[in-house]
Structure 1
Amino acid sequence: MRSMLLVMALAATSVASAQKTADPKPFANTITPDDLKKHLYIVAGPAMEGRETATEGQRKAAAYIESQFKALGLQPGNKGNFQLGFPIYQDSIAKAAIDVNGRSFAIFNDFMISQNMAHTSTIFCNEVVFAGAGISDSSRNDFKDVAGKIVLVMQTPPPSPPTGGVSSARNRSRFGPFSVIESAQKNGAAAILIVQSNFPRRGGMPLGKGPAYLDGFQNMVYPNAYFVSEDIAKAVMGNEFDVAKEAVKTGNVQPKTYTAEVKLEFRKDRIELASSNVVGFLEGTDKKEEFVFITAHYDHLGKRGDSVIYYGADDDGSGTVSVLELAEAFVKAKAAGKGPRRSIVFMTVSGEEKGLWGSEFYSDHPLYPLNKTTVDLNIDMIGRTDPKRKEGDSTNYVYVVGDDKLSSDLRPISEAMNKKYTKLELDYKYNAPKDPERIYYRSDHYNFARKGVPIIFYFNGTHNDYHRPSDTPDKINYNLMAKRAQLVFYTAWEMANRNDMLKRDIPLTEQ
Structure 2
Amino acid sequence: MVRFVKCGLLSLAGICLFISSYAQDAVAQKYAAYIDAADARKHLSVLSSDAFEGRETGKPGAAKAAKYIAEQFKAMGLKGPVNGSYFEDVPLTESSFRIKTSLVNKKPFTFGKDFYITGTPVSASVSANQVVFVGYGITSDNYDDLKNTNIAGKVVLVINSGEPVQNGISAVTKTKDLSDWTYIRYKRIKFLQSKKPALILAASPVVNQYLAEDANYFTSPKLAIKGKKSDIDNNVPVINITTDLADRILASSGKTYNDLKTAIDNTLSPKTQVIKTGISFAFEQKLKDVHAADVLGYLEGSDLKNEVVVFSAHYDHIGLNPDGPDKVNNGADDDGSGTTAIIEIARAFTQAKKEGHGPRRSILFLSNVGEEKGLLGSEYYTDFNPIIPLERIVTDLNIDMIGRVDPAHYKNPDYCYLIGSDKLSTELHQISEKANATYTRLTIDYKYNDPNDPEQIYYRSDHYNFAKHNIPIIFYFNGVHEDYHKPGDEISKIHFDLLVKRAQLVFYTGWEVANRDKRLVVDVKSDMRPER
TM-score range, shorter chain: 0.7 to 0.9
1:18 corresponding residue in structure 2: none
- Preserved contact between residue 321 and residue 487 of structure 2 (Cα < 8 Å): no
**Inter-CA distance 27–107: structure 2 relative to 1 (3 Å threshold):** same
1:60 corresponding residue in structure 2: 64
Residue 373 of structure 1 deviates from its aligned partner by 1.3
Identity of aligned residues (%): 35
2:472 corresponding residue in structure 1: 454
Residue 316 (structure 2) pairs with residue 310 (structure 1): no
**Inter-CA distance 109–441: structure 2 relative to 1 (3 Å threshold):** closer
Residue 409 (structure 2) pairs with residue 389 (structure 1): yes
1:498 corresponding residue in structure 2: 516
**Inter-CA distance 466–497: structure 2 relative to 1 (3 Å threshold):** same
2:303 corresponding residue in structure 1: 286
User: How do 1:54-203 and structure 2 match up within 5 A?
Assistant: 54-97=58-101, 104-108=106-110, 115-121=117-123, 141=146, 149-151=153-155, 159-160=164-165, 163=169, 165-167=171-173, 173=181, 182=190, 185-191=193-199
TM-score by length of 1: 0.76
**Inter-CA distance 161–95: structure 2 relative to 1 (3 Å threshold):** same
SS class of match (1:70): helix
The equivalent position to 2:391 in structure 1, one of 358, 371, 374, is: 371
Question: How far apart, CA to CA, are the structure 2 residues paired with 1:425 and 1:196?
Answer: 39
Residue 344 (structure 2) pairs with residue 320 (structure 1): no
SS class of match (2:313): strand
- Preserved contact between residue 449 and residue 508 of structure 1 (Cα < 8 Å): no
Residue 436 of structure 1 deviates from its aligned partner by 5.0
- Preserved contact between residue 110 and residue 232 of structure 1 (Cα < 8 Å): no
1:44 corresponding residue in structure 2: 48
Residue 458 (structure 2) pairs with residue 440 (structure 1): yes
Residue 331 of structure 1 deviates from its aligned partner by 1.6
SS class of match (2:41): helix
- Preserved contact between residue 97 and residue 107 of structure 1 (Cα < 8 Å): no
**Inter-CA distance 96–22: structure 2 relative to 1 (3 Å threshold):** same
**Inter-CA distance 116–272: structure 2 relative to 1 (3 Å threshold):** farther
Question: How far apart, CA to CA, are the structure 1 residues paired with 2:30 and 2:112?
Answer: 67
Question: How far apart, CA to CA, are the structure 2 residues paired with 1:500 and 1:29?
Answer: 26
1:300 corresponding residue in structure 2: 317
Superposed CA deviations along residues 358-406 of structure 1, whole A, max 9, x for unmatched, are 22332323222323211111222333344532676x4x54443332222
Residue 411 of structure 1 deviates from its aligned partner by 2.9
2:496 corresponding residue in structure 1: 478
Q: Which amino acid aligns with 1:212?
A: K
What is the RMSD computed on CA atoms of the aligned residues?
A: 4.5
Question: How far apart, CA to CA, are the structure 2 residues paired with 1:485 and 1:199?
Answer: 36
- Preserved contact between residue 386 and residue 462 of structure 1 (Cα < 8 Å): yes
Question: How far apart, CA to CA, are the structure 2 residues paired with 1:277 and 1:242?
Answer: 53
Q: Which amino acid aligns with 1:476?
A: I
SS class of match (1:488): helix
The equivalent position to 2:236 in structure 1, one of 210, 219, 223, is: 223
Question: How far apart, CA to CA, are the structure 2 residues paired with 1:374 and 1:320?
Answer: 21
User: How do 1:262-277 and structure 2 match up within 5 A?
Assistant: 265-277=282-294
- Preserved contact between residue 292 and residue 342 of structure 1 (Cα < 8 Å): yes
Question: How far apart, CA to CA, are the structure 2 residues paired with 1:448 and 1:48?
Answer: 28
- Preserved contact between residue 125 and residue 283 of structure 2 (Cα < 8 Å): no
**Which of 181-190 and 481-490 deviates more?**
181-190
Superposed CA deviations along residues 168-191 of structure 1, whole A, max 9, x for unmatched, are 8867939x9966754554344444
- Preserved contact between residue 124 and residue 261 of structure 1 (Cα < 8 Å): no
The equivalent position to 1:210 in structure 2, one of 220, 224, 227, is: 220
SS class of match (2:220): strand
**Inter-CA distance 382–131: structure 2 relative to 1 (3 Å threshold):** closer
Superposed CA deviations along residues 95-127 of structure 1, whole A, max 9, x for unmatched, are 432689xx8553429997763322244658898
**Inter-CA distance 382–182: structure 2 relative to 1 (3 Å threshold):** closer
Q: Which amino acid aligns with 2:434?
A: A
Residue 262 of structure 1 deviates from its aligned partner by 8.1
Residue 301 of structure 1 deviates from its aligned partner by 2.7
Question: How far apart, CA to CA, are the structure 1 residues paired with 2:361 and 2:220?
Answer: 44
TM-score by length of 2: 0.74
Structure 1 residue runs without a partner (length 5+)? 1-20
SS class of match (1:495): helix
Q: Which amino acid aligns with 1:214?
A: A
- Preserved contact between residue 110 and residue 200 of structure 1 (Cα < 8 Å): no
Superposed CA deviations along residues 55-107 of structure 1, whole A, max 9, x for unmatched, are 2111111110011111122111333321223244433223432689xx85534
Residue 348 of structure 1 deviates from its aligned partner by 1.2
**Inter-CA distance 198–387: structure 2 relative to 1 (3 Å threshold):** closer
Residue 221 of structure 1 deviates from its aligned partner by 3.6
- Preserved contact between residue 40 and residue 313 of structure 1 (Cα < 8 Å): yes
Q: Which amino acid aligns with 2:237?
A: N
Residue 252 of structure 1 deviates from its aligned partner by 9.3
SS class of match (1:271): strand
Q: Which amino acid aligns with 2:310?
A: F
Residue 341 of structure 1 deviates from its aligned partner by 1.3
The equivalent position to 2:365 in structure 1, one of 336, 339, 346, is: 346
Q: Which amino acid aligns with 2:172?
A: V
Question: How far apart, CA to CA, are the structure 2 residues paired with 1:317 and 1:416?
Answer: 27
Question: How far apart, CA to CA, are the structure 1 residues paired with 2:398 and 2:97?
Answer: 37
Question: How far apart, CA to CA, are the structure 1 residues paired with 2:337 and 2:506?
Answer: 13
Higher-Rg member (1/2): 1
2:38 corresponding residue in structure 1: 34
* Equivalent residue pairs, number: 479
